[in-house]
Amino acid sequence: GESVGLHLPTLSVQEGDNSIINCAYSNSASDYFIWYKQESGKGPQFIIDIRSNMDKRQGQRVTVLLNKTVKHLSLQIAATQPGDSAVYFCAETYITGANSKLTFGKGITLSVRP
């Protein structure tokens, strides 16, 4: 079946460095993607989203890149801070409207070294 997955279960980065979190999706019909951040003991928090008609979208310190050719999504975090330590999920959907449902990846842990 269709699935959204992440290449690495954990990522350790030095404070101040840039982080890149990758996600592969298998449904070529997916047209909307979201990145969520989940801190320990909390619910997923929306970070940034992108539609399939875009290749790149920037937010505050974060950039999402979409490569539809290879079905790959990445989240770039600039100048990573200790507060960025969390689990990051990508999610995708290919059904719009009322029955739109998100399919989530299993998550990757970002650990920021001081």
Judged by CB under 8 A, which of 10, 60, 96, 114 binds another protein?
96
Judged by CB under 8 A, which of 85, 93, 108, 112 binds another protein?
93
Q: What are phi and psi of 26, to 5 degrees?
A: -110, -15
6, β-bridge pairs: 23
Residue 113 CA to residue 82 CA, distance in Å, equals: 7
Shortest reach from residue 66's CB to another protein, in Å = 15
Is 34 an interacting residue with respect to another protein (CB under 8 A)? yes
Using CB under 8 A as the binding rule, the residues of this chain from 44 to 63 that contact another protein are 44-46, 49
* Residues 9 and 21 sit within 8 Å (Cβ to Cβ): no
Judged by CB under 8 A, which of 82, 100, 111, 113 binds another protein?
100
Half-sphere exposure of 99 (CA within 13 A, CB side): 2
Shortest reach from residue 106's CB to another protein, in Å = 4
Question: In angstroms, how far is CA 60 from the centroid of its own chain?
Answer: 15
Q: Which residues bind another protein (CB under 8 A)?
A: 32, 34, 36, 41-46, 49, 89, 93, 96-102, 104-107
